[in-house]
Structure 1
Amino acid sequence: MRSSLTRRGLLAAGSGLVAAAAVPALSGCSSLAAADSDPETLVIHTQLGTTAPGSPTYLAALDRFREENPGLGVKNLINGDDLGQVYETSRLARKEADVVMVNLYDKTLAWTDVDATVDVRGYLDDWGLRERVLPAALSAWTDDRDRLRAFPYFATNWPVAYNRTLLDRAGVDAIPTTGDELIAAARKLRAKGIAPVTVGGNDWTGQKLLAQIIQTFLTQEEARHAYTTGDFGSRGARAGIEYFTTLRDAGVFADKAQGLTSDSMTTQFNTQAAAVQSAMSSALAKIPADVVRHTEVGGWPVAEGAAHSRPTVIRAFTLIGFWISPNGVRKIEHVEKFLRFMYRPDTVARFVTEAGRDMALRTDTVSTGFPLVAAAQRLGSDVSQVLLPDVYVPPSATQPLITATSTSFTRGTSPARVRAALESAYRSA
């Protein structure tokens, strides 16, 4: 897979990274002066620290780490969705942070290839931390050249949340497990003025649900091929697209879903304006207690002839990892202290109990304060797992796929046009 970074000329493999005239100006960004050259200061670049789930726990953990290591300075840099761009810009100036906490998605897929970050497999083994990591997480973070891109940390379950009270009010007796049952439930909900399935059809949440539904008729190998190559012409992919458009045009999704975002989706479900949402575990953890009490989790209903015999969910282990930069290699003894601290069972347990996070690490701690997160973990054989496409989609196709998603959620768009929009996202890459 060639990197979009390489194509843009921002990063170059072989000789490390080189500056280019195409580097965008980032207003308000201090990344170019972010990394501390002091060898006794560890610089961490993270998305945790604002409203992201787990931020208070992370900041408290950082305070404990400072207390336990009084001679070591710690600088914490925080960015949101622009972290990838900010990090790349700072790396071009050789002023990048020592450790980066971010998911495996879009830009970050190329970082190890272009020497923006280093293979951490040797460190994982040398520090005796391999046994702390779930085997599936190690596999997910390993690239096709057997390099471990980062130390795995957060995972996620992505089930479907059903508001039992709203379903009962509409006369829906059971959680839908088939497409026909879902369509029938949607009609009853609409008759009561309740939106059926809310989804951010204009952002990543819609993209993930669309991918999940398309995979109804695909094996994992077939799904991997489709999302790696952008070829949605197989019989299974076409059947999945047709299944999606059938559900859409039957009124299963909330009105004007093509314009909704993840924020509007969660607002609709959390305020009980909608009965169903596809919700990753961090979203489940934020559902209000009065809604949690009558919410059940399950999978996405399947159709006759599906490749899956049970409703589907997405499970992924690539939500947040600890990446080590070339600057971090120069302070590797400090990085080791930090990673050992973050991998400690007591630190991991607090993310589970305080923030309801799913972890890519072994832990016996249960999310007792987040019952829907725990319920999703217990689904087990009641559901079938489909792929999270993020690690297969070429970085340059990621944003075009969001546009294709909005087109797909627009009622009346034919299956052929949905397929064309998806494949066009890859051709424009």
Structure 2
Amino acid sequence: MRSSLTRRGLLAAGSGLAATAALPAVSGCSSLAAAASDPDTLVVHTQLGTTAPGSATYLSALDRFRAQNPGLKVKNLINGDDLGQVYETSRLARKEADVVMVNLYDKTLAWTDVDATVDVGGYLDDWRLRERVLPAALSAWTDGKGRLRAFPYFATNWPVAYNRALLDRAGVDAIPTTGDQLIAAARKLRAKGIAPVTVGGNDWTGQKLLAQIIQTFLTPDEARHAYSTGDFGSRGAREGIEYFTTLRDAGVFADKAQGLTSDTMNTQFNTQAAAAQSAMSSALAKVPENVARHTEVGGWPLADGAAHDKPTVIRAFTLIGFWISPNGVRKIEHVEKFIRFMYGPETVARFVQESGRDMALHTDAVSADFPLVAAAQRLGSGVSEVLLPDVYVPPAATQPLITATSTSFTRGTSAARVRAALESAYRSV
């Protein structure tokens, strides 16, 4: 891989936004350039600040940070899913933000390797913050060359939420723990006009659930191999795909799941049109109180011969980290103040208590106002963990895998065609 960003390389691999369209999304070229060059202004580029979970807590934290550092200005740049493209465009112009708050996924996987951001391991030690980070988070954010890509911050639990009231209405006596029980429950729910499991089969939520189900028959090492290489031909991967198609064709997933998105999935569950969903912490935090009080969380049901002995969940520590850019290195004293503040126990606790966020840092705070988030945290050894594939999937395969996911959720698509669709997503890698 090349050592620096080029317009033909990393930028061209992105969403195709032109530079003239991308930079105005962060308040315009001139304002970004001025802020980036001002030694007394810290520029933070983040996905928090609008409706993203934790935004209100983050903006409040910024206000407190500014009050504690009156001589330091902070410019907050906000983008959504296009943050990676916008950041890369600004980096090509050497006008990038000093700190970037984004997850480890797709385009960002390459940033440290192409000098778009820097290895922060030395800073973590120099600032004596290593003991604040959960060991699993440090491992997840460290690349194959031993470089720490970013300061870990948000984590997530990803269990299955089951609406106990809807299950009771359909005569389902217990939360399903096996595939046969799940299929039987789906039949009873459909008889009552209730969608069984809702899922965004047309976006990343469906891709994650599909990956989770395929891993039913895979060890962690086998799963890493499959999602790193696109080789789904092993016995375990083929059995996992067959398990998925069996569940799908038995009516386990909501009708037309291949066209649903994360928004429609959450809406169906939160309005009690569906009995279950695979939901990460941020989605669990948004379940209305009248639904949450009769919702239980657990794992995805297993099939005979599974590689796991308990229903599975995804746990991940790469949801948001603090990346330092080359511009940030020039303002490293300001960056240190900001990260120390964000790593402070009070700030971390507020994200847990006010926003229901799971953290990649040690904290004693509890999500008391977010009972489903807290319940997911308590699952502990009662479930088995499978891998989040994000850090293993090559960036060029990420979007093609979403397309393959929609194909996979289309009822009647054979296991062989699902495998072919998954493997074809890696052809451009």
Question: Do these two structures clear the TM 0.5 threshold for a shared fold by scoring above it?
Answer: yes
Determine the C-alpha separation between the residues in 2 that align with 1:144 and 1:7: 25
1:26 to 21, 39, 42: 21
User: 1:96·1:327 contact (CA, 8 Å) conserved in 2?
Assistant: yes
**Mapped pair 1:73 → 2:73:** yes
Instruction: Give per-residue Cα distances to partners, 1:283-340, cap 9 Å, x unaligned.
Output: 0000000000000000000000000010000000000000000000000000000000
Supply the distance in 1 between the matched residues of 2:268 and 2:19 (Cα, whole angstroms): 36
Q: Does 1:427 align with 2:422?
A: no
The count of corresponding residues between Structure 1 and Structure 2 is: 421
- Residue 342 of structure 1 aligns with an amino acid whose one-letter code is M
Contact kept? 2:25, 2:79, Cα under 8 Å = no
- For residues 26-59 of structure 1, the C-alpha deviation after alignment (integer angstroms, 9 at most, x for no partner) is 2643464414111000000000000000000000
Q: Which residue of 2 is the match for residue 311 of structure 1?
A: 311
Corresponding position: 1:324 with 2:286:
no
Contact 1:8–1:22 (8 Å) recurs in 2: no
Distance of aligned partners of 1:253 and 1:7 in 2 relative to their CA distance in 1, 3 Å threshold: farther
The alignment status of 1:220 with 2:210, answered yes or no, reads: no
SS at match of 2:123: helix
**Alpha-carbon distance in structure 2 between the residues aligned to 1:382 and 1:68:** 43
Distance, in Å, in 1 between the alignment partners of 2:317 and 2:73 is 30
SS in 1 for 2:25: coil
CA 1:276/1:218 → structure 2, altered by over 3 Å: closer, same or farther? same
* Mapping of residues 261-410 of structure 1, within 5 Å: 261-410=261-410
Give the aligned partner of residue 135 of structure 2. Answer: 135
After TM superposition, give the deviation of residue 9 of structure 1 in Å.
Answer: 1.9
Q: Determine if contact 1:32/1:96 at 8 Å carries over to the other structure.
A: no
What is the rounded CA distance, in whole Å, between the counterparts of 1:298 and 1:11 in structure 2? 40
Q: For 2:96 and 2:6, locate their aligned partners in 1 and report how far apart those are by CA, in whole Å.
A: 18
Query: Does residue 90 of structure 2 align to residue 90 of structure 1?
Result: yes
Structure 2 residue aligned with 1:18: none
CA–CA distance in 2 between the matches of 1:277 and 1:250?
A: 17
Q: State the distance in 2 between where 1:54 and 1:410 align.
A: 34
Q: CA deviation at 1:8?
A: 4.1
Secondary structure of the equivalent of 1:29? helix
Q: What is the Cα-based RMSD across aligned positions, in Å?
A: 1.7
Partner of 2:59: 59
Post-superposition shift, 1:5? Answer: 7.1
Deviation at 1:381, TM superposition (A): 1.2
Instruction: Note closer, same or farther for the CA distance 1:384–1:98 as it changes in structure 2 (3 Å cut).
Output: same
Q: Which amino acid aligns with 1:106?
A: D
Return the letter of the residue paired with 1:181. Answer: Q
Q: State the shift of 1:10 in Å.
A: 3.9
Q: What is the TM-score with the length of structure 2 in the denominator?
A: 0.96
How do residues 147-296 of structure 1 correspond to structure 2 at under 5 angstroms?
Answer: 147-296=147-296
Unaligned runs of 5+ in 1: 13-20
SS in 2 for 1:70: coil
**Residues 9 and 22 in structure 1, CA contact (< 8 A), matched pair in contact too:** no
Which amino acid counterpart does residue 249 of structure 1 have in structure 2?
D
2:315 is paired with a residue whose SS is strand
Q: Which amino acid aligns with 2:274?
A: A
Measured in 2, the distance between the counterparts of 1:55 and 1:24 equals: 27
C-alpha contact (below 8 Å) 1:167/1:189 kept by paired residues: yes
1:118 paired to 2:118: yes
Task: Judge conservation of contact 1:248–1:411 (CA < 8 Å) in 2.
Answer: yes
Q: Displacement of 1:243 after TM fit?
A: 0.2
Q: d(CA) in 1 for partners of 2:10 and 2:276?
A: 42
The equivalent of 1:416 in structure 2 is: 416
TM-score (ref. length: structure 1):
0.96
Give the secondary-structure state (helix, strand or coil) at the position aligned to 2:334: helix
Deviations 1:86-133 (A, max 9, x none): 000000000000000000000000000000000000000000100000
How far is the alpha carbon of 1:25 from its aligned partner?
4.4
Shift of 1:4: 13
Alpha-carbon distance in 1 for matches of 2:20, 2:114: 21
How much identity, in percent, do the aligned residues show? Answer: 86
Q: Supply the AA of the counterpart residue of 1:26.
A: A
1: distance between equivalents of 2:305 and 2:340? 48
State the shift of 1:260 in Å: 0.1
Counterpart secondary structure, 1:76: strand
SS of corresponding position for 2:321? strand
Counterpart of 1:15 in structure 2 is: none
